[in-house]
Structures are given as structure tokens and as C-alpha cells.
Amino acid sequence: MLPHNTIHNLDCIEAMSQMDVGSIDLAFADPPFNIGYKYDVYEDRKDSQTYLGWSREWIAGVFRALKPTGTFWLAIGDDYAAELKLLSQEVGFHCRSWCIWYYTFGVNCKLKFSRSHTHLFHFVKDKKTFTFNREAILVPSARQLVYADKRGAKEGRLPDDTWILRPQDLAEGFHPDETTWYFPRVAGTFKEREGFHGCQMPEQLLGRIIKVSSNPGELVLDPFSGSATTVAVSKKLGRQYVAFDISEEYIERGLKRLSSIQAGDRLDGAPDPKVSAPSTKKGKQLFQ
């Protein structure tokens, strides 16, 4: 078994073949999207068959490494979302949810609608037995936030499967029984921005996933460490972790990031949006 609580300079397919079978509790992967992004040492524009064949290999590696009760979250763009969902199911995973992380500060396009979302697939190995800590991720419902409706569950409710950057921009899209996930995209001016990797996930997004799909002390895997957000959040939340990357520079910077934090540190980024519910003419705004 490879040492835990570090980032290894290894290709993830090779590395996962060295791991003990069924040793991981949770895996989160934000792989290259095959759209020509300029990584440090990886070519992100392969022909489709090569990309899909490679994807099948690393997804199979994740399946092998996960415990029978383990969970796998996959972040992927539009171009190959459907294909990677099918590949994951062919490997043996069961899809619990197909979530959308929506952000208004997307990449501007001139001849097509601007991209403003990422797909997040929630997979498990066993359809009946898996970790899902619903109490850890409950949010206030619109019944509580807007309408002061006593029928709203006091403890809150599970988020929807669409996670929105700025709920206040979508007042017409909210209904009494809806809540959404609020995770700002890590833009270049954000304090959270590490600056050495352009595809940085928000800590709050990873925090939600790690809290709901693992328990303190359990082992989290990231096959594509990149900006090291998965391992940083795992450390803050008291999880064990192991990650891989083929870029020595990314690893050096990722390890530096890890050395600056401790278990129990607060997650960077915006907290739950208790002040972001839209006001209504007849409703009551409970949070100021």
C-alpha cells in the first residue's frame, strides 16, 4: 500500500494498481476534460477513442481501490459526461445522482451559449450499502428562509441536485420547496485561488462531498491532485488522504498548501447561503 497523507508523483493508473484492493472509502476525480486545456505536462487533446479507453482504465482502477461500501464522485464537462457515466456503470458503479454545479461566471463564448456548469456524478459500488451522512449537509428550506412556514422541517432538508453560484440572481427559479447548493467558482481574484492550476475546485464544494460520503479518519483518494483541493479539504475535515499527479510542480505546490493547514481549519470560500434566499412580496425574510 502506498503511504497515506501525501501526493505521489505517479500516473494514477499505475499508482492505483499498487494499492490494496478495497482500501479506499471515497474517491473524488476531476480528470482532464479532453478540451485542449494547457496543463503542465499532460496533453489534453486526444482522439475520442484514446481518451475514452484511458478513462475506462482509470475508472476501473478507482473501482478496484474502493471498498465494497465505497463512493465515487466524478466531475466532468459536457463533452464526455454521458460517455463517462456509461463507462462508470459498465465498470460496475451505480449512479445515485447526476448533479449540476452551475456558476454564472463561466467562460464567455461568441458563437454558442457560454459554458456555466460542470457535471457531478455520485456513484456507489453497492446500491444498498454506502455512506451518506445526510445530517452533515442539511440546508434550510425555502419554507424556512422565505415563507416562515411551520411545516418546514426544523432540521432543514437535503440540497437539490443543482448547485448554484448566486441564488439571488435566480429569484424566478425558486419555489417554496426548493433549495440549492451555493459554491462560487474560484475566480482569479478570489483569496482562495492558489494560482498554479486553472481548474481549481472550491473548498466548499469538496467539503460537501467529503462530509456526506465519508467519516472522520476514513481514506479519501484523488487520482488527479492538480491544485490539491481534495487533499486539503480532507485534511481540514480530519480524513486520511492519498493523491496522485504526474506534474512535479503541481505536487510541490500542493504539498506546500498542505503544510500550511491543520485538521479543524475552516474551509475557504463562501459558507452556506442562508442570506441568499430571494425576498417575496408576501413572504418573510428570516435571515438578514
pLDDT single digits (tens) 59-71: 999 999 999 999 9
User: What is the pTM assigned to this prediction?
Assistant: 0.81
Q: What would the pLDDT profile of 8-52 be if each residue is shown by its tens digit?
A: 999 999 999 999 999 999 999 999 999 877 777 778 789 999 999
Name the pLDDT band for 159 (thresholds 50, 70, 90).
confident
Fold of 6-102+115-133+186-259: Rossmann fold (3.40.50)
Cell readout for 131 is 455512506
Q: What would the pLDDT profile of 72-93 be if each residue is shown by its tens digit?
A: 999 999 999 999 999 999 999 9
Please state whether beta strands 219-222 and 162-164 pair in parallel, antiparallel, or not at all (unpaired): unpaired
pLDDT at residue 275 is higher than 60: no
Instruction: Specify the residue for cell string 465498470.
Output: 91
Cell readout for 140 is 434550510
Task: Give the residue from 238, 229, 213, 222 showing the smallest Cα distance to 25.
Answer: 213
Burial class (CB in 10 A: 0-12, 13-18, 19+), 162: middle
Which amino acid is located at 273 in the chain? P
Which amino acid is located at 90 in the chain? E
Q: What would the pLDDT profile of 187-239 be if each residue is shown by its tens digit?
A: 444 444 444 445 678 898 999 999 999 999 999 999 999 999 999 999 999 99
Q: What is the structure's pLDDT at 271?
A: 56
Q: What is the structure's pLDDT at 141?
A: 66
Collapsing DSSP to helix, strand or coil, 187 comes out as coil
258-266: Cβ within 8 A, 24+ apart: 258/7, 258/228, 258/231, 258/232, 261/232, 261/235, 261/236, 262/235, 262/236, 263/235, 263/236, 263/237, 263/238, 264/236, 264/238, 265/236, 266/236
| Triad 133, 138, 143: Cα angle to 5° | 150
Q: What is the structure's pLDDT at 288?
A: 42
Q: What is the structure's pLDDT at 196?
A: 45
